[in-house]
Structures are given as structure tokens and as C-alpha cells.
Structure 1
Amino acid sequence: MRIAPTLLSAALVAGLAGLSGATAEAATPVHFTSAHGTFTGYVPGAHAVTYRTDLVPGGAQAHVFGTSAHATGTTTALVVTGLLPNHQYGAHAHANACGPTGDDAGPHFQHTPDPVKPSVDPAYANPRNEIWLDFTTDRFGTGHAKSIVDWTFGSRRAHSVVIHETHTHTDPGHAGTAGARLACLDVGF
């Protein structure tokens, strides 16, 4: 059965809002994040950019929702529609906003930054220190992922979510890599 993207999005928002109820009782401030975009080729001011239309077609969409509170950490959900069916993609929060090329989004955002660049050490490039949102699309090209980390953003923040060509590698020397940068969505974490 195919779930309408808007229903899936609403369910994720409701689930994330449920997290805030527990933290609200503890008087912990909760930060909410929400971003949506329809992927197009780059033009100045674009907030959802596809760099590889063969893997992220123009017109595909992405939605990111998140909550962050000291009592619960950071939960981020990604929902995508209009991608290739039955395909594995990687996705991560990146340090910079989207730009004309995938490289403009900079490196993955790391809570504890790796002093060595590029970061391929599993001690730093891992789903506990970064926000990883790998997903596999269904037969309709819809996919979703959720990341839960035990930290919150401080003065340094991620500014985008980048969709990559493959699921994320975890082995030393390749940790955090996921192939080409296919598309980028600006997200105000």
C-alpha cells in the first residue's frame, strides 16, 4: 500500500511533536526544525538543488523535520518523494548551505569535529557524531529515514541535508563516505 507523502509527513511531525511533550514538562526548551523543497537545477536563491537529475529528478521533493532539546538530544526525520524506485541513497546533515555544486555544502556536520580533513575515521564519521539519514526508496520512489543523536546544536550548526549516491560506509579510511553528492536541501538546524 502506498502512503501519501503528506500523510507520512504529518505522521512524522506528530511523532516528533510527541517528543516535545515530555521535554516541555521538564521545562526544557525545544527547538523545532522544518524544511521542504522541490528539487531543481541550481539558480541563485534555490534552496533545493539537484546535481544529478538521473538519480534525483527535477520535481522530486524532500521534507526535513526535527526537534532538539538538552533532555532528549536531536531527532531528525527525512521524507523524500519522486526519486528512483528501489534505490539506496545516503543522506547527511552538512555544515554549509546548498550552492551551485554539491561541494558547496561543505563537509558533514560533526558534533565533535575530526581534526583531520577529510574525515574518514570511524571515531568521528559515525551516526552518533553526525546526522545520518540513509534510506531506500520503495517502488514509488518514496523513502524516509530518522536520526537520533544524544547531543544538541550549539553555536555551530548544520545548514543543509545532502542526498548521496549510496548508503554510508563505516569502515576505516572510508567512514562517512557515500558516493557522489546528488542533491541538497537547505535546512535551518
Structure 2
Amino acid sequence: MPLSSATGALLVPLALLPIGPPEIPAAAPDQVVDAPFDRADGIVPARAVTHAPDLVPYGAQARVTVHRAGGRTTVSVELTGAAASHEFPAHVHTGYCGTDPAASGPHYQQVAGSDAADNEVRMTLRTDPDGAGRASATVPWEFRADEAHSVVLHAGPGAGAHAAADRAACVDVDF
């Protein structure tokens, strides 16, 4: 019960005051792309296309989130409705998605030709038995303007008729 002083003001016992620093909410993402996967050759260009509907069916959903802070970038990918219990290597690519899987270009590299582990955005997205999964990667740099345009999910191991490096799906994201 609060105590009152001679002036009638309420005094709050110190035990009720919060201890430690205040909680800081997570920073809002710089960019979020939510898109269903569709045909690459549809009448209306799709933001997310699938080149392997057996692995990423039409209507499967992607969410790509990009956070930039302090010279670092985090790219996160969430996927629902994809092949169950599958492993998709994922990378940022230089081109946009297109009817030809190769349209997305090569992997974006911060330093061209370098094999350093942090020179590219590299993730492995593993889906659960319901076909949902997520992955993220943080790199110690920010993308150069107008040089990175998509996230590509590669077919990965055990992809049946597809080679592991085949581009299974692509999401346009202007980094």
C-alpha cells in the first residue's frame, strides 16, 4: 500500500520500480516481401516464381525480410507450402526472377571472386513435415545499390529429377 507524505502525495515503494534497463523492441525490418509462388510465364509478372512446382508448388508462400544496421545486413526467408522435410540452399542473386531460371544471375558477392565465407548471403532452409521452414544469414556489410535483386532457393540434395544446384524458386527483392 503506497504511503502518503504530509502534503498528501503518494510515495511508491522502491520495490515496485522496474529493475534494469528498459526493454528495447526489436527494430522494424527495412524491407519485407510477402509473395505467393506462381508461374514464371504468367500474364501478370509474379514477385515469386517457381521453376520446380514439385518442390515449391504454385501458391506456396514466401516472406523475405531484410534488416540493415551498423553496416551489417540480415536476410531472413520464411517458406510455407513447400515440399515436406526438404533442404533448400538459398542465396541472394544479382538478377531478377524470370521465365528462364538463369535470369536471376549469379550469386551476389560483396567482393567479386572472393571465396570468403562472409562474401555472400548463404542460408540453408529446411522445411518441416508440413513444408514450412525458415533460415537467416547476417553479413558484415550492406548491399551495393542496384546490384542485388532476388533470393533464389536451390533444389538441394534429394531433389529427385532436379540437380542440387538447380534453381527451384526465386523471389524478387530489391536490396
Cα RMSD, aligned residues only: 2.0
Distance in 1, matches of 2:90 and 2:108, equals: 12
Aligned partner letter, 1:92: H
Residue 164 of structure 1 aligns with which residue? 154
Cα deviation digits, residues 10-35 of structure 1 (max 9, x gap) = xxxxxxx7257xxxxxxxxxx81211
Structure with more strand by fraction: 2
Please give the per-residue CA displacement for 1:136-180, whole angstroms capped at 9, x wherever unaligned. 10011001001000001223431000110116xxxxxxxxx9510
Q: Is the 8 A contact 1:35 1:188 kept in 2?
A: no
Tell me the equivalent position of 1:93. Answer: 92
Which AA in structure 1 matches 2:63?
H
Which protein is bigger by CA-based radius of gyration?
A: 2
Structure 1 residue runs of 4 or more that deviate by more than 3 Å after TM superposition: none
Structure 2 unmatched ranges of 5 or more:
1-24, 158-162
User: How far off is 1:85 after superposition?
Assistant: 0.8
Query: Aligned partner of 2:174: which letter?
Result: G
Query: Greater relative contact order: 1 or 2 (C-alpha under 8 angstroms, separation 6 or more)?
Result: 1
Q: Is the 8 A contact 1:39 1:60 kept in 2?
A: yes
Identical aligned pairs, as a percentage?
36
Q: Quick check: which one's helix share is greater?
A: 1
What TM-score, normalized by structure 2, do the two folds share? 0.75
Superposed displacement of residue 132, structure 1:
1.3
Unaligned segments of structure 1, at least 5 residues? 1-16, 21-30, 115-122, 168-176
Q: Which residue of 1 aligns with 2:9?
A: none
What is the aligned residue count? 144
TM normalised by structure 1 equals 0.70
Say which SS state the counterpart of residue 139 (structure 1) adopts.
coil
Choose which of 158, 169, 180 in structure 1 pairs with 2:166.
180
